[in-house]
Amino acid sequence: MAERISDAEHAVMEVLWDHAPLDAQSIYDRLSGSQSWTLATVKTLLSRLVSKDALATEAQGRKFLYRPAIERTAYVAHESGRLVDRLFGGKLSPLVAQFAESEKLSPEDIAEIEALLQELKK
């Protein structure tokens, strides 16, 4: 994944990861409750995502259907790695420590992390 996906583009990707394939109007309709974008804005975002090879298109009559060309899990893994590399020198433990120190970890989060670590030790 060469080019970074902006926050706005990510909102479009989330819709398509959950509901693809969709045309631009359908994507706009799904985003209208959470975003104050115009249909033209959505089409611009779609064009950018296609040029970044994040979306594939398929002609259907006079419309285009859009579908993700990258998987959500691959995107999350890539962006998570970028974050850890950029902010914590590639080490994960300082990230967890940062969350713990800023009290961002709930007791449920801590229990899930402990369970994950126990599973990884097996």
Return the pLDDT at 38: 96
Total domains in the chain come to: 2
pLDDT tens track for 5-44: 999 999 999 999 999 999 999 999 999 989 999 999 999 9
Is the same domain home to 23 and 35? Answer: yes
Query: What number of H helices and E strands is found in the chain?
Result: 6, 2
Is the same domain home to 71 and 43? Answer: yes
Residues 6+ apart with CB under 8 A from 54: 1, 3, 5, 9, 13, 68, 69, 70
Return the pLDDT at 42: 98
- In which domain, by residue range, is 18 found? 1-89
Inform me whether the pLDDT recorded for 52 exceeds 80: yes
**Predicted TM-score of the model (pTM):** 0.82
Is the same domain home to 47 and 81? Answer: yes
Widest distance between CA atoms in the chain: 55
Distance in angstroms (rounded) separating the CA atoms of residues 56 and 58? 7
Residue 107: is the preceding peptide bond cis (ω within 30°)? no
Q: Please give the C-alpha separations between residue 20 and each of 26, 55, 83, 96, in angstroms, as whole numbers.
A: 10, 10, 27, 34
Is the same domain home to 70 and 50? Answer: yes
Each as own residue / partner, the long-range contacts of residues 87-92 (CB below 8 Å, 24 or more positions apart, any chain) are none
pLDDT tens track for 87-118: 999 998 898 888 888 877 888 988 998 999 99
Stated length of the chain: 122
Is the same domain home to 29 and 74? Answer: yes
Is the same domain home to 58 and 36? Answer: yes
Is the same domain home to 24 and 57? Answer: yes
